[in-house]
């Protein structure tokens, strides 16, 4: 839940502050094992870039997500 990608996908289904299981319906399941196509040992901004590439996001979409979701402090 630290990446902008996941928080944006989660926000798509949220109409309020409630975070029920239904609000995660757009968040894709990931492989967190060492054989994953994502290197989870990288810093969060780099993981975001890997996720953007994995799901084929355009630069325009990446900029939009960046404008909507602020980095975690």
The pLDDT value recorded for residue 73 is 75
CB atoms within 10 A of CB 52: 18
Instruction: Report pTM.
Output: 0.87
**Over the stretch 17-54, which tens digit does the pLDDT of each residue have?**
888 889 999 999 999 999 999 999 999 999 999 999 99
**What ranges do the domains of the chain cover?**
1-9+40-72
HEC string for 9-34: HHHCCCCCCCCCHHHHCCCCCCCCCC
The pLDDT value recorded for residue 24 is 93
């Amino acid at each position: 839940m630290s990446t902008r990608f996941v928080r944006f996908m989660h926000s798509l289904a949220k109409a309020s502050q409630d975070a029920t299981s239904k609000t995660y319906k757009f968040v894709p399941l990931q492989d967190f094992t060492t054989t994953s196509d994502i290197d989870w040992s990288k810093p969060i901004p780099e993981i975001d870039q890997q996720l953007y590439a994995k799901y084929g996001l355009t630069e325009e979409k990446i900029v939009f997500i960046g404008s909507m979701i602020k980095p975690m402090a």
